[in-house]
Chains A and B, each alone.
Chain A
Amino acid sequence: MPRLVDIPMLETERLTFRAPEIGDFDALAPFVMSERARYVGGGADKDIGHAWRILATLCGHWHLRGTGVFVAVRKDTGAPIGSMGPWYPDPWPERELSWTIWDSDAEGKGYATEAMIAIRRHVYADLGWDTAVSYVDPKNTRSAALAVCLDCVIDPDAKAPHAEDVVYRHPAPAEVLT
């Protein structure tokens, strides 16, 4: 099986992070084709071809940008539960830290918070980012709550990829890397 190479190794107490791979499709596709994904480019009206293109796009982002989203894997079960990390497609105004939790059973357990704290440190300390935003659909209350939990604040002056998006700006490197 082919693999993306030169992917940084990250882990937290309960999660490991790796590049997306073809075996993730079984966990990703049902999410993309569900209403749970309606704020992140999916939805119940989407088909399996759309889900495939999203997985291919996650992989291609690594190749094109040199960074990309990690797949978070539970240490206790080995299950891939979501994609998290740097996201900078065209026409995004600036580099984003993104997150999705694919399996609803993995929601509400603090996995995304745990992951994003580690990944935010990684982009500041290892990739040299000097700032980061997360774009959240205003109806996506779970993601908005996570942004607040991560000490993000709404940046009313920042451009967003979609007119309705709220731009949450993350704390600066100096506030996080202590």
Chain B
Amino acid sequence: MTALRTDRLVLRKPTMADWPAYRAFYASDATRFTGGPYDTKSAWSFFAGDAGHWALHGFGWFILDNGEGAVGACGLHHPPHQADLEIGWNTFAAAQGNGYATEAARAILKIAENDHHQRRLVSYIDAGNGASKRVAEKLGARFAGEMAAHDPACEVWVHWEGAV
């Protein structure tokens, strides 16, 4: 997967040019629902980890580029401590409120329907993160009261259950 294109965004793998915006986001209070803010060292491990996930599983995180640079990240990942394949999204602070995460996630879900329809696909969302839950709702995901086994503060929003 090299890149995806939506109406307003190019979704592509992370490069070093994206690092300043990514680092600034993780240093900000906007990451409070995922354990932030984070120092540079931690942010680098997320950034390089996002990039490296592609080599491990063949899918991973995209950087969302609106033509002026990185405005967020969105992708599929499945680290071993999480029960299910997850689609996650972040919109960097200056770009929030534009619907970028929803637009990017829709494009990635379309790919995932093809490649991963047989597996359960979820989003783990902090119970207090209303903005992210609204994105999940717009994407058609639903919350059935289940909390994440790896993080009891996170709700499990289900995109599809997959083959039984």
Contact = CB atoms under 8 A, between A and B. Distances in A.
A2 B52 contact: no
Query: Which applies to chain B's interface (DSSP): helix, strand, loop or mixed?
Result: helix
Nearest to B40: A91
B56 A57 contact: no
B49 A57 contact: yes
Interface string B10-22: 0001111001000
B81 A55 contact: no
Contact of B55 (A3, A52, A54): A3
Contacts, number: 92
A48 interface: yes
Interface in B51-94: 51-58, 79-82
A56 B14 contact: no
Contacts of B110: none
Given A2-B55, A2-B56, A22-B57, A49 B81 contact: yes
Nearest to B50: A60
A145 interface: no
Contacts of B150: 49
B143 interface: no
Interface size class of B (residues with CB under 8 A): 20 to 34
A47 B58 contact: no
Contacts of A64: 14-16, 19, 47-48, 51
A48 B41 CA distance: 19
A3 B14 CA distance: 17
B49 A56 contact: yes
Contact of A60 (B23, B40, B51, B79): B51
Nearest to A2: B58
B160 interface: no
A161 B44 CA distance: 13
A54 B80 CA distance: 12
A52 B44 contact: no
A1 B59 CA distance: 11
Contact of A52 (B16, B19, B51, B79): B79
B81 A4 contact: no
Interface of A: 1-4, 19-22, 25, 47-49, 52-65, 89-91, 161
29 contacts: A2-B57, A3-B55, A20-B55, A22-B56, A22-B57, A25-B80, A47-B81, A48-B80, A49-B80, A52-B81, A53-B79, A56-B48, A56-B50, A57-B44, A59-B51, A59-B52, A59-B53, A59-B54, A60-B14, A60-B47, A60-B50, A60-B55, A61-B52, A62-B55, A63-B13, A64-B15, A89-B44, A90-B41, A91-B44
